[in-house]
Structure 1
Amino acid sequence: MNYKKITSALLAFGLLCPLSTEAIHAQEIDKNQVQVEVAQPGLTIGKLTEPQNDTKENIAKKYLKGEVQGAKAQQEQVTTEKSVDFQLTNKETKENQTEVRLTQTYKSYKVYGQDLIVKVDKNGVITTVSGKVVQNLEKQPNLTITNFLSKNEVKSSLRNTLQIPNDALEKEFASETVIYKKQDGSYTYADVITFTYENNDQIISGHAIIDLIHGEMLFQEKMIKNKEQQPVKQAATPQLFLAKEQGTGVNALLENVLFNIAKGSDGKFYLADLTRGNGIYIYDANYADSKGGDSQAGYPGTLVSSKTTTFADKEAAGVMKNLSAIYDYFKTQHNLKSYDNKNTKIVASVHGFDSTEVSDGVKTDYVNAFWHPAWNQMVFGDGLNGKLTSAIDVTAHEFGHAVFSGTTKNNVVKYPSDETNALNEGLADFWGTQIEFYVKKDKGNWIMGDTLGGLTIRDIPNEIGDGGQKLYTNLQDFYKDGNSQESHVNSGIISHVLYQLAEGKTYNGVTVAKQGNDKISKIVMRALQNYATSAEDFDSLHSHIVQAAKDLYGSTVAKEVDKAFLAHGYKALPQTNKVIEVQKGN
């Protein structure tokens, strides 16, 4: 009978130890050279195994399960629990290595949102492991329970909680049982559900997560589309072609703007840019009520058109101009095509509305914009005389949410922790500022929404958040009593770090050398594309960004990056770290 023996070894390394990925691959293979060069929270780099003769997927799995003889690893990145395994979710070639992404499973159920990245070189040597393995699942009381809600009980709970009308027929019900981490830190069995119900009046669809042990609704997202009793006949959508002429318009700030447009087979011009990836399309939602994101009825709306190349809709013109610049920024500066590097179609709706956020009921008073991941689109309200649609940083912020999801290959319906939510929000602010600098050059700034005429969304330098409240910028604030864990409030815990680095500011008595926007944005993008996972937390993003800085610019820059994190209350990255050496025997 096989068994695994794990012994501990202390690994010493310096923060400023230079790392060259190419140098690792170029080294002559020597069985005695297995070593770790970097061992920090959620990140291990080096020549972590001897050459392995197997598929890249199996090599990665065996490493994470502690089954590779002589491998070096951090305890948080391996497990020997018999019921734990790993499933492949994505595999691609990056920098002459195979990047394997896997999700952790327990008793064949996926651990919700818990994925890891393993990079394997051409010789079958593991060089990088990013992410964390959930430990000690066998000690979780809920996971020893085998008697949980039946499928019919789950459906009944779903209908009752979401108030699905009795006459609505089930058209779709897909569920996956997962291991889910609750707010109190415990793990339970839960069903992640995709549903659609339909009656004569409505189509009700969405996602939900239900605790299978206690029947608790852990997450819900309901979208409603109203059916028209007497459908209005509409002309078929015309075939679109790239127009030779550019479109013109005036945005809500009374600025003249130019943008690419399409010409339809009906002779009209449309706000569709067919030159950028699979297109940028701007729709008029005509104030359809999104009801807090629950109702998709009326979205995306009608593709904005004009009989001439001049578009009178100032909100639509503003968004098209902004999204063109945003697409160009990510492609030219980071070689990122659309938000997921797959040139996915970009969709936005203007003249949006949400009755849950407008107290006076006036549809043109909706002062907000949002990215809806289930709809894969952005929505903009008309509030502040349409100025939201002309604010490049606001549009870029919403697009930044899509970038976070796209680069981390995220396919969950809810991020697994409040830390991930805060990082997602803070990085969206960061991209908002970076694209404003890209468009406005020296007139850019670190204030979100500074063109909105008195409404400041977030002032990162002055630590001011929504509505003038405190923007938390120190990691210790995240754990204080009274912190509601609202992601916008905690967004400064990462955005202010990046502000300090880009501008070379002093914070909490710590001064860092100015790195500039171009350098810091490239560091962040490398971290997102190479190290960040769906379950990114504060500690892991710290080590991932420092490593990305070292990869691109060397140890001196990496040291400055680390100083900024430490100034904001992050834990010091270990200079000696405990690793394990895997041994197998009979």
Structure 2
Amino acid sequence: MKSKKAMALACAMGICLSLPVQAYAEKGEVNVEVAQAGLTIGKLTSPQQGTIEKIVKDYLKGELSGAKAQPEQISTEEQTNFVINSKEKKDGETEVRLSQTYKNMKVYGQDVIVKVDSEGVVTTVSGKVANTLDKQANLRRSASITVSKLKSVIRQATGVPFQAVEKEFKRENVVFQKEDGTYTVAAVVQFAYESKTDVISGNAIVDLTDGKVLFIDHISKKKEVSKIPTNNALRLLTTKELGSGTDALGTNMLFNISKGTDQNYYLADLSRGNGIYVYNANYADAKGGRSNVGYPGTLISSPTTKFEDKEAVGVMKNMSSIYDYFKKEHNLKSYDNKDAKVVASVHGFDSDGTEENAKPSSWVNAFWHPGWKQMVFGDGLNGTLTSSIDVTAHEFGHAVFSGNTKNNVVKYPSKATRAINEGLADFWGVQVERYVDKKNWDWVMGNTLKGLVIRDIPKEIGDGGHKLYTNLNDFYNTAVNEQESHMNSGIISHVLYQLVEGKTHNGVTTEALGHDKVSKIVMHTLQNYATAGEEFETLQVHMLQSATELYGDKEAEEFAKAFEAHGYPDIDLDKNEKAVTTIN
């Protein structure tokens, strides 16, 4: 099974296979080559006239006569429409990412990818739509919560004092899927209030039919914390300088830095994309990622080219290597392929989940915040956390997921999406560590951290020594699985481990495909098929298709075996078992 697009790519790579011509449709003929969960490929329409925008919207609304479509990828409901989020040219086609709307409100966290060729033929549809919205009771009701009531709910939920002044209140009404699977009308709100002594800010999702809070995070900070200085007025010179320093593991490092107009040197590498910048957050409390007061902090400086901050030195050197890995191995420019500025803060702190009265300097954690578009690192384990290349690359891996799936939401749309994000971040951590140190890398996250096992993928050990779930059936066994994303990350990371190494799992043996092939298949999936609301079953199909396009049926078969060994459904892309209908 290969599409014409896949065939052209395979030939270009020197692995062109002899395939029967009759497998493909003639010009103008409509046919389907792949139809599986969340993916349809082929000549799905006859050549269409009009703009790309009209073609893709008409297809998704089931308005193109003679088109082939999966019911889960179109919506004929009267008040459904689609809005375009992005459009770009790829391999001679136009790729369009769209969000579904209902009654002019976006369906939260859901998107679809549609590709159209130069003749106006829809060739690929990736993702799913919600097509039972007309039957949702809450969507037939009028929203009963007024703006003043909404503000009152948020004030009460966050403990905002009555006398506090509203400084920000951005609201978007959306169609939101609740934990029980039903849909409702909700408001996604970004808010900030200020009293004489405090600043209270955060995000909330509130059901507009009954006023219930579906999600909220907030932080209250003393005003003086917000006065932590940043170097906004600083101008950096474009001449490249070389800095040095010793990381927390005692390793001497060299890295690119910049000189400022104040004659000091700064941890800013302007030679890579739009720059890599390392800041001192001075232990500002991120409060579960809900407060960016004090972040990113102060750009780290030194009067000489030698830097004494061992945590900052570790992150600066690591980020240089991480940027180079993705650029060299995947031609990815920064995390979004648009050379976005890379920002990291050391000396970070998060009181959530931290013992009361614990020293901020002992915080053993790190995170990527998609809203702030930066990474934060704690000083725990005597600063060695910041020197761990796979930990740093893991956080950057989250940025890669967000940047390539265009996922920019307050809350990820599903538990599966969160687990996939964690599993792929672990995979990238391993790949970067191997790129940097081909002799001492392994599949253990944080292997250089003494006394701490983050995740051991081969041994299926998760955070703190708990079980790392590796079977998809475990994800749905809610009696024992609390749906924690890090514990469920093994459901994809262990699949990729088996494929790279060629292991036997649950009686199924796969051939070792190696790091290069598997990593390129993962990246191809993220850039071409994965959506912002990716599920395990759709990820499986998307990776099988990517393996076929890049390398052929043999590699795709190894991917299929590995997924099946981990409890995923048995899928053969050639069988096209998912129902496809012809639009009248």
TM-score (normalizing by structure 1): 0.93
Q: Give the alignment partner of residue 495 of structure 2, picking from 491, 494, 497.
A: 497
For 2:217, what is the secondary structure of its paired residue?
Answer: strand
CA distance in 2, matches of 1:125, 1:233: 54
For 1:463, what is the secondary structure of its paired residue?
Answer: coil
Shift of 1:191: 0.4
CA, structure 1 residues 261+186, in 2 after alignment: closer, same or farther (shift >3 Å)? Answer: same
Report the AA paired with residue 580 of structure 1. V
The reply on whether 1:355 has 2:339 as its aligned counterpart is no
Paired residues in the alignment total 568
The reply on whether 1:442 has 2:426 as its aligned counterpart is no
Contact 2:241–2:259, Cα closer than 8 Å, also in 1: no
The share of aligned pairs that are identical, in percent, is: 59
CA distance in 2, matches of 1:304, 1:234: 10
The reply on whether 1:410 has 2:407 as its aligned counterpart is yes
For 2:119, what is the secondary structure of its paired residue?
Answer: coil
Instruction: List structure 1 runs of 4+ shifted beyond 4 angstroms.
Output: 22-32, 229-236
CA, structure 1 residues 576+516, in 2 after alignment: closer, same or farther (shift >3 Å)? Answer: same
Contact 1:437–1:445, Cα closer than 8 Å, also in 2: yes
CA, structure 1 residues 155+357, in 2 after alignment: closer, same or farther (shift >3 Å)? Answer: same
Structural RMSD (CA): 2.1
Equivalent residue, structure 1, for 2:15:
none
Contact 1:24–1:47, Cα closer than 8 Å, also in 2: no
Contact 1:209–1:220, Cα closer than 8 Å, also in 2: yes
The reply on whether 1:78 has 2:74 as its aligned counterpart is yes
Q: Give the alignment partner of residue 389 of structure 1, picking from 386, 390, 409.
A: 386
Q: Give the alignment partner of residue 527 of structure 1, picking from 507, 521, 525.
A: 525
Equivalent residue, structure 1, for 2:368:
371
- Give the stretch that moved more between structures: 145-154 or 448-457: 145-154
CA distance in 1, matches of 2:240, 2:49: 55
Equivalent residue, structure 1, for 2:2:
18
1:192-233 Cα offsets, whole Å, 9 max, x none, are: 111222233333322211011221211123245542399699
For 1:443, what is the secondary structure of its paired residue?
Answer: coil
CA, structure 1 residues 277+74, in 2 after alignment: closer, same or farther (shift >3 Å)? Answer: same
Unmatched runs of 5 consecutive residues or more in structure 2: 12-20
- Give the stretch that moved more between structures: 18-27 or 38-47: 18-27
Matches within 5 A, 1:60-209: 60-209=56-205
1:254-306 Cα offsets, whole Å, 9 max, x none, are: 00111100001111111111111111111111222222223322221111111
Q: Give the alignment partner of residue 509 of structure 1, picking from 501, 507, 517.
A: 507
CA distance in 2, matches of 1:121, 1:213: 43
Equivalent residue, structure 1, for 2:582:
582
CA distance in 2, matches of 1:518, 1:249: 32
In terms of fraction of residues, the more strand-rich structure is 1
The reply on whether 1:420 has 2:404 as its aligned counterpart is no
Report the AA paired with residue 20 of structure 1. K
CA, structure 1 residues 24+240, in 2 after alignment: closer, same or farther (shift >3 Å)? Answer: closer
CA distance in 2, matches of 1:566, 1:211: 39
Report the AA paired with residue 561 of structure 2. K
Q: Give the alignment partner of residue 301 of structure 2, picking from 300, 305, 311.
A: 305
CA, structure 1 residues 513+308, in 2 after alignment: closer, same or farther (shift >3 Å)? Answer: same
Equivalent residue, structure 2, for 1:256:
252
CA distance in 2, matches of 1:355, 1:117: 39
CA distance in 1, matches of 2:318, 2:119: 45
1:96-143 Cα offsets, whole Å, 9 max, x none, are: 100011111112211111110000000000000000011211111211
TM-score (normalizing by structure 2): 0.94
Equivalent residue, structure 2, for 1:13:
none
Shift of 1:166: 2.1
For 1:571, what is the secondary structure of its paired residue?
Answer: coil
Shift of 1:570: 0.3
Contact 2:264–2:303, Cα closer than 8 Å, also in 1: yes
CA, structure 1 residues 381+125, in 2 after alignment: closer, same or farther (shift >3 Å)? Answer: same
The higher-RCO structure (CA 8 Å, 6+ apart) is 1
Equivalent residue, structure 2, for 1:541:
539
- Give the stretch that moved more between structures: 158-167 or 352-361: 352-361
Shift of 1:319: 0.2
CA distance in 2, matches of 1:521, 1:218: 37
Unmatched runs of 5 consecutive residues or more in structure 1: 1-16
CA distance in 2, matches of 1:34, 1:170: 56
Report the AA paired with residue 324 of structure 2. D
